[in-house]
Amino acid sequence: MKKSNELFLKTMGLASALMLFQGCTEQKAEQALGTETLTCDTTVFLKDDVKSSPSCKINYSLAFFKMRQATDSIALKSNAQLIRAIEEGMPATQNPQEFVRHLKDTLITNYRQDLEGLYEYDLRNGLKDHELPGWYNYEYGINSTLTEGKDHVWNYKVSHFAYTGGAHPNSYQKWINLTDQGEVLTKEQVFLPNTEAAVCELILKELIRTAGERVETDTITSIEGLQEYGILQMNGLYLPDNFLLEKEGIRFLYNPYDIAPYALGDFELLVPYQELNTYLIKH
């Protein structure tokens, strides 16, 4: 009987431990930040009631953190940071749904304010809708992604595309690193003081390799070689504000015109942690 009681107590203890472990696991899963994507794909006309008038295409796909409950302070704080990353100057107190509606309405309003006067002028002077120049047709695209980076850091990438007339569209990216508490990590919080020159040497090595691949040559070995292709002609290499703490290394972003002509596009340069660890602040 004694052995039976001991076996019963051991079995009950194991069951309680399993229930406790399962409860902790479920609670941890509930606490993890989930994501959602809000999208829009629409075309609006310069004159809303004239379908032959010029048009503006608006397309966005924007990632945010899901609100687990109305008082989810971490998701609220994190989404406010994401909104600032997408569009500086937008009210950060808006929730994502309000923000994307406001963003679309703002783009439509700006389009019509830019061109309605010119459109009416051209029509009064005898031009037909099909005779209007192509720059009457605008296009906006905004996309963002949220991925998990190194040590509880979220990597947020926002890409902007806009054609509002001119020789070519304009495009650029904005990157931020967000902690699981909703704080943005700046380069001053990541890199040790007085290490920019050393870090830039590592970035330069990757820039030389990437530039050589892009222009299909193996003759670039120095800054002078880069300059022959228009890279680093106006500015020296610097530690950019746009970087991501990825799982395997830090990826640095230079947008068009930052260090190279528009025709060469942007540069995303990955430097492994084993080369960078000496210059990083330990958290």
- Tallying the residues shown for the chain, one arrives at 283
Question: Homologous superfamily of 35-184 in CATH?
Answer: Fervidobacterium nodosum Rt17-B1 like (3.30.565.40)
pLDDT tens for the chain, 283 residues long, are: 444 444 444 444 434 433 433 443 333 333 467 899 999 999 999 999 999 999 999 999 999 999 877 667 889 999 999 999 998 877 666 789 999 999 999 999 999 999 999 999 999 999 999 999 999 999 999 999 999 999 999 999 999 999 998 888 999 999 999 999 999 999 999 999 999 999 999 999 999 999 999 999 999 999 999 999 999 998 899 999 999 999 999 999 999 999 999 999 999 999 999 999 999 998 7
Helix (H) or strand (E) holding 39: strand 35-45
Domain 188-279: give its CATH architecture.
Alpha-Beta Complex (3.90)
Domain definitions of the chain by residue range: 35-184, 188-279
For residue 98, the 8-state DSSP code is H
CA distance 128 to 37: 40
Encoded amino acid at 22, one letter: Q
pTM of the model: 0.85
Per the structure block, which two tokens stand in for 24?
């902790």
CA distance 68 to 185: 24
Question: What are the CA-CA distances from residue 66 to residues 63, 73, 119, 149, 196 (Å)?
Answer: 9, 11, 42, 18, 36
Report the b/e string of 9-37 with b at 16+ CB within 10 A: eeeeeeeeeeeeeeeeeeeeeeeebeeee
